[in-house]
Amino acid sequence: DLNPEYIAFKEDFGFLESRINELEHVLNNYKLITPPPKGKRDKVQIGATVTLEEEDGSINEFTIVGTLEANPAEGKISYLSPVGKALLGKKLGEKVVITSPIKVVYKVKKIKYQIS
């Protein structure tokens, strides 16, 4: 008979070992993203915070981030998401059409970059 505490320990250990491997992979494969130079901040790129206006006048703000940083509840969307993909490369005043699962049309009102 195996001790239930031992079984729980083994399960926890397996989870932690897998998490360590995942984090090592992230650290070994990261790309540091820096804001574009001053003259090139007119387009949406990874790291941009974009203010969008829907056709009904409502305003949304999203920050375009990498997949591991994405947290839609905080307004951080992945550059690989449907909205992120549609926004990349857009300029101030351009319209963005997103069809997922319904069609939404945005107008880019503001593009800003966090400069540290």
Task: Examine the domain organization and report whether 97 and 62 are in the same domain.
Answer: yes
Task: Examine the domain organization and report whether 26 and 69 are in the same domain.
Answer: no
Task: Examine the domain organization and report whether 15 and 44 are in the same domain.
Answer: no
Claim: this prediction has a pTM higher than 0.75: no
Q: What's the number of domains the chain is made of?
A: 2
Task: Examine the domain organization and report whether 6 and 56 are in the same domain.
Answer: no
One pLDDT digit (tens) per residue for the chain, 116 residues: 689 999 999 999 999 999 999 999 988 988 887 878 888 889 999 999 999 999 999 999 999 999 889 999 999 999 999 999 999 999 999 999 998 788 999 999 999 998 75
Report the alpha-carbon distance of residue 40 to residue 31 in Å, rounded: 20
Task: Examine the domain organization and report whether 53 and 103 are in the same domain.
Answer: yes
Task: Examine the domain organization and report whether 23 and 43 are in the same domain.
Answer: no
| Structural domain boundaries enclosing 70 | 38-113
Task: Examine the domain organization and report whether 20 and 74 are in the same domain.
Answer: no
